[in-house]
């Protein structure tokens, strides 16, 4: 048993290549209410935006500069503590 559960997905969002649609990813991010799921997309804005629109707010982040990751993780964990 655990207090908090987190899953972090990192993707290039090349959805067509993998046969996965934005709606499928959004559903996966909401699979279990016991798990906090987040997705980091390393892709051009158009592809990332499709996934972000389909997903619950605050679950998908477009990351083009890895120096942004520590701040994003801080915000995620800070929000989980509230």
Quick: pLDDT tens for 42-63. 877 777 888 889 888 999 999 9
Q: Please state the φ and ψ torsions of residue 11, each to the nearest 5 degrees.
A: -145, 155
For residues 56 and 14, the model is more confident at: 56
Question: Is residue 42 within 8 Å of residue 12, measured between CB atoms?
Answer: yes
CA dihedral 36, 42, 48, 54 (to 10 degrees): -20
Distance CA 24, CA 54 (A): 9
Distance CA 41, CA 13 (A): 6
Distance CA 5, CA 2 (A): 7
pTM of the model: 0.82
């Amino acid at each position: 048993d655990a207090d908090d559960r987190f899953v972090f997905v990192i993707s290039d969002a090349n959805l067509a290549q993998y046969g996965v649609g934005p709606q499928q990813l959004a559903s996966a991010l909401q699979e279990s209410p016991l798990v906090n799921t987040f997705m980091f997309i390393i892709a051009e804005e158009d592809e990332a935006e499709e996934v972000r629109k389909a997903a619950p707010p605050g679950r998908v982040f477009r990351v083009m500069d890895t120096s942004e990751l520590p701040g994003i993780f801080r915000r995620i964990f800070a929000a989980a503590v509230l």
